[in-house]
Every structure is written in structure tokens, then in C-alpha cells.
Structure 1
Amino acid sequence: MKTFFAFLLFPMLCLSQTPLDQAEQLLQQKKYVEAEQLLSSYVTDNPNNLKALEFYGDAFGYQEKWDFAIVQYKKLVKASPKEANYHYKYGGALAMKTLQVNKLKALTLIGDVKEAFLTAAQLDKNHINTRWALVELYMQLPGIIGGSQSTSLKYANELEALSKVDGYLAKGYIYEYDDEPELAEIYYKKAITEGGSITCFEKLSNFYENTNAPEKALATIEASQAKHQRNALHYQIGKIAAEYNIQLAKGTKCLITYIKNYSAEDGVPIAWAHYRLAQIYKHQNHKAKALKHINLALSERPQITVFKTEKERILSL
């Protein structure tokens, strides 16, 4: 259920600088505390402004303050019960709340989670994200409280009718979760053929990693790189090479390229690329090179425990 909230928020263009525009801009800039503070006073003065309530809930959600997000989204549901997205956000916040409480408390919330998502699905027959939420929910729930592969597949089929790529990815997820790797692979590959986005390639490569097929994972990422030409994929190739001790020369080349072309948009900090290079050189028994790169990693991120552990391993060569 951790993926639910990733779908909840959508950036919009700011055309002016009213308080709501300022709040929206702060959310886009990931300044969630500032957005929360701005919206706190605005919502107090404008308690019936639904957009303000939504942004306020979003600000809490981004900070994983689910209790506060739930309060705001519940207000939206009560104020506008025919708006599918409000039910979806409310259900998503409740779902995330279940991950923070004990199992008994979580069980008391599941009914409300289901009701919110099902209501959203009924209100909007084209709401893709709600159907994704229902696919995940029914797969992850134990059978005794309503979990069901067949129900999950029902919503995957609805997704496929709306978007073939989403439908294929959903079915890949279902079969991977249900330990049916042959079917999972088929649908992840169908998603690549149909859409070919980085996300599609990533789902298949992650599947191969999860099923201990690193060579296939590496080939999938290389295919993605050939199509999309993203520097971030150089890191992913190097990561798999380092983790599984395969194709080390290729991994080294890709990591060096990643460091050379790095920008903040690539996501993974350079320190991690140095860490992966240290792993590769350790596999090759190049102690001096391994130490050089693990020290570079530690100089940038001295608090990372795995870096410290890796240095100890290198020193013991």
C-alpha cells in the first residue's frame, strides 16, 4: 500500500500569487512545512474552500502526517460526496495510516479504506489511480478479511480497458505477488511492447531482480537505456553489476559515466555511485581503488552505515 500516496498529488501551473497559488507552488517545490504553515491560517479563515482543504491535506500527506491528512480529506468527502478524487485521497491516507498502527487497529480501518476506494471507483468509471489502489488492496489483504486475487484481477481488467499499459502492469504485479513468475513476466513484457516507458522497463527489471535473474535485469535496463538515454540508468546498470558480481567492466564504465554526467535530476547521489564502484573493485581484489571510492562515498555521506560496513570489508582484503 505504500504506493498509494504516490498517485494522490498532481502538480498544476501557478498563474498568480494568491495564497492558494503560493501554497501550490510550495508543494511543487517540496516545501511542505512552509505550505502547511501558510494553509493553516488560510483554512482557518476560509473553512469552506475545498481547494485549500485539499492542499492542506496534501501538505500533511507529503510529510506522512496521516492523521492530519485524514481530517482534511474527510472534510472534503463530506462537503462534496460526489467527487471521486476526494474519496480516493481519503482512502489513500487511511491506507497509509494502517501501515503505522498495530494489526488490530489496522483491521478497524480496512473497512473505511475499502468503502472510500469503491465509492471513488463507482463515481468515476475512468479513475485509473483508484483502480490501481484496489488492485493492490485486494492482493495485499489476507483472504479472511476480503483479500482476493479474482477481485484484484477484476480491477486490473477495468484498468486494461482504460489503459492497456496500466492493465498489463497491474496483471504483472498481481501474478508476481501471487508467485506466478511466468505470467508476471509475460504481462510486464506486454507493458513494454505497448508503452515502452521507463516505468515499464523498471517493473520488468525489478521483477528479474526479485526472482534472482540479474543478467535479465541488466539486459532490460540496457534496453531501456538504448531507448530513453537517461543517465540515471547508468547507475542502475552499475548497481546490478556490483550487487551480483556480474559484467564488472560494463558496470565500472557505466558508473564512471554516471558520475561524469551527474545532475540532481538523476536522483541517486554520487556517493552511491562511488559505493558501487568500491564494491566492484572489491570483487576484483583491487583494494587501493576500492578504498579510494569508498572513502569518496564516506566523505559525502559519512552517516551511511552500509558505507562504513563496506570499508571494513575492503580493509579486510
Structure 2
Amino acid sequence: MYKFLLLLLLPTLIFGQPELDDVDALFQNKQFEKAEKLVSEYLKNNPNNIKAIEFLGDAYGHQKKWDDAINQYQKLVNIQQNNANYHYKYGGAMGMKALSVNKLKALGIIGDVKTAFLKAAKLDKNHINARWALVELYMQLPGILGGSKNKSLQFAQQLENLSKVDGYLAKGYIHEYDDEPELAEKYYKMAIVEGGSLTCFNKLTALYENQNQPQKAIQNIEVAQQKHQRNALHYQIGKVAAQYNTQLKKGEQCLLTYIANYTPNDGVPKAWAHYRLAQINVHKNNKSEALKYINLAIAELPKIPSFKAKKEAILKL
């Protein structure tokens, strides 16, 4: 829930170039605690600087300090009541807090979350992220709390009017959430035709995996690979092959290619590729190869419980 809300944490501030350069570098390096301290010090001498207040809220958000982030964003909303993005960030921080507390406390927050998102959408007719948040919120809330597929579809249509790709992805999400996989597939495919980003391909791949259709998932990843030429997609093919015990030769080849061309930018550590190779060799009843690869995985990431469990299972073969 609220996967799109993390966009609210992107730094967009300008308050004195030296400070901005320092804070931006800290954000880029994920040094959010240091960024918090730097901006807090700045605010001691500039307590009413709106941009700095926003930046501090973002720093808190990155650290999941939702109460602190809410306090900063609430200041912004009080100062500039007609700023759509401030209402969006305020609602986003409250929404993330609602996910981190028990259901009873969350019930007391949801109404304010909805109000903030609706206000943001009303103030800015082109605010895509607020509309995405409302699509998700209305789908995931129970009807008794105001959840409504029809309202979710209304905001999805607004998204489509602003950005066809976002609209198609939103409608795909709605139908997937509502257990209508054929309609979800239709809209995800439309998003691929319209935009063709990796996000579009990944949504369709995930749908196929969730529907236990690994052949379609692999085929979709291969089309994505032809278009985007990303090494990470080799891992995805290998993962699906290993998980579903299908196209094992292709999966093995893709995982070996992933390892050979690996860079940290690929995202998934090589250890996971070795883990998938161990899975494939278990399917092939090749105990020695499976043990070799699981040992490599454990050597690289020794604290992953699933690696140790897989080794124990292999040893029992």
C-alpha cells in the first residue's frame, strides 16, 4: 500500500546553495540522519524557511520517523493552505504512519489521510501522485470506511486523462486487486504499448507470476530484455525458471550471464543468482552442483535464513 507515496520524499529544495549541495549529497548517499542534523541546524537560525521545513520532513520520512515528518508537513500545510504538494506529503506521511500502527489507531488516521489527498487533487488538477494515492486508498479501504472501486476507477480515469500510461497502470492495478486478471492483463499490455517502460513490463510479469503463469512471465521478460537490454532481466528470467521448475536450461544460462556481467547497479546481489542456480540444480537432481551454488550464496551473504534452509534441504537429498 502507498508504494507510490515514496515519491513524496524526493528532494526538491533550494535554500542557499552551499546547504543545498551538502544536503543533496547526503540524500544521494542515503545519509538521512546527517541530512536531518544539517537541516535542523539551519532551521535554528532560519525557523520560517519553508523549503528547509520541507526538506526536514523529507529527511524524517526517509528514516520512517512518521510523527516527525507529519509535524513538519503540517507546518507547511498551515503556512500555505493552497499548496497541493504539501497536502499530498502530509497525507502520505499520515498514510505511512497508519501502516505502522495497529488497526485501531490506523482507523483514526485514515480519514485525515483521505482528506489530505482529496485536497491535493482538488488544488492541482494535474497532480498525478495524489491521484495514484487515491486510486490505492479507495481500493484498499473496506467499504464501511469509504472504500469504493468506482471512486478508484474515477481517479484512474483522471490519471488516464493526464497520462495514458499512468491511467492504464492504475486500471490494471484496480482489476488485479479485484481479482480480475484478464482485465488487469489488458490494461498492463496497453501500458506497455503506450509507454514501454520497465515498470510497465514488471507489472505484467508480476501479474503472470501471481496467476501461476510462468511461461507468460518469461516471455514478457524476454520482450522487455529485447527493448531495454538490462542485465537485471537475466536474473528475472532465472528466478522465474527456478521458482516454477520450468525452462531450466534457459534459466540457468540467464543466471550465469547475470553473474558474468554483474555490477552493483543491477540491484540483486550475485548471491541470489547463486541461490537460484542451486534451486535449478535441485530440480535437475544434481546434488553436487546444487551444493556448490548454495555454498557460494552463503559465502557471499551468510545471514540469509533461506540460504541456510536450502542447504539443509540439499544435504538431505
Give the TM-score normalised by structure 1.
0.97
Separation in 1, partners of 2:243, 2:63: 32
Separation in 2, partners of 1:11, 1:257: 36
**Contact 1:5–1:92 (Cα < 8 Å) also in 2:** yes
1:73-104, Cα deviation, whole Å (9 max, x unpaired)? 11111111111111101100100000111111
In the alignment, what sits opposite 2:307? 307
Describe the shift of the 1:175–1:132 C-alpha distance in structure 2 as closer, same or farther (beyond 3 A).
same
Separation in 2, partners of 1:49, 1:16: 11
* CA-CA distance at 1:10 after TM superposition: 2.9
Stretches of structure 2 that go unaligned for 5 or more consecutive residues are none
Range with bigger deviation, 3-12 or 168-177: 3-12
Q: Does 1:198 align with 2:198?
A: yes
The AA in structure 2 aligned to 1:116 is A
**Contact 1:132–1:155 (Cα < 8 Å) also in 2:** yes
Separation in 1, partners of 2:44, 2:116: 26
**Contact 1:14–1:25 (Cα < 8 Å) also in 2:** no
* CA-CA distance at 1:16 after TM superposition: 7.8
Q: Does 1:137 align with 2:140?
A: no
In the alignment, what sits opposite 2:283? 283
In the alignment, what sits opposite 2:151? 151
**Contact 1:205–1:220 (Cα < 8 Å) also in 2:** yes
1:131-169, Cα deviation, whole Å (9 max, x unpaired)? 000000000000001000000000000000000000000
**Contact 1:4–1:92 (Cα < 8 Å) also in 2:** no
1:252-276, Cα deviation, whole Å (9 max, x unpaired)? 1110111111111100111111101
Separation in 2, partners of 1:224, 1:247: 18
Separation in 2, partners of 1:14, 1:91: 23
Separation in 1, partners of 2:23, 2:71: 19
Describe the shift of the 1:13–1:122 C-alpha distance in structure 2 as closer, same or farther (beyond 3 A).
closer
**Contact 1:14–1:24 (Cα < 8 Å) also in 2:** no
In the alignment, what sits opposite 1:22? 22
Once the two structures are superposed, the pairs formed by residues 30-49 of structure 1 within 5 Å of their partners are: 30-49=30-49
- Name segments (4+ residues, structure 1) moved above 4 Å: 11-17
**Contact 1:279–1:290 (Cα < 8 Å) also in 2:** yes
In the alignment, what sits opposite 2:218? 218
Separation in 2, partners of 1:90, 1:141: 19
* CA-CA distance at 1:24 after TM superposition: 2.1
Range with bigger deviation, 57-66 or 303-312: 57-66
* CA-CA distance at 1:47 after TM superposition: 1.5
Separation in 1, partners of 2:34, 2:288: 46
Q: Does 1:105 align with 2:112?
A: no
In the alignment, what sits opposite 2:242? 242
* CA-CA distance at 1:15 after TM superposition: 11
1:206-251, Cα deviation, whole Å (9 max, x unpaired)? 0111111111111111110011000010110000000000000011
**Contact 2:43–2:53 (Cα < 8 Å) also in 1:** yes
Q: Does 1:258 align with 2:258?
A: yes
Separation in 2, partners of 1:14, 1:108: 35
In the alignment, what sits opposite 1:9? 9
1:116-140, Cα deviation, whole Å (9 max, x unpaired)? 0001001100000100000000000
* CA-CA distance at 1:12 after TM superposition: 5.6
In the alignment, what sits opposite 2:57? 57
Describe the shift of the 1:161–1:295 C-alpha distance in structure 2 as closer, same or farther (beyond 3 A).
same
The AA in structure 2 aligned to 1:176 is E
Describe the shift of the 1:132–1:20 C-alpha distance in structure 2 as closer, same or farther (beyond 3 A).
same
In the alignment, what sits opposite 1:186? 186
* CA-CA distance at 1:13 after TM superposition: 9.7
Determine helix, strand or coil for the equivalent of 2:255: helix
**Contact 1:294–1:307 (Cα < 8 Å) also in 2:** yes
**Contact 2:10–2:58 (Cα < 8 Å) also in 1:** no
**Contact 2:209–2:217 (Cα < 8 Å) also in 1:** yes
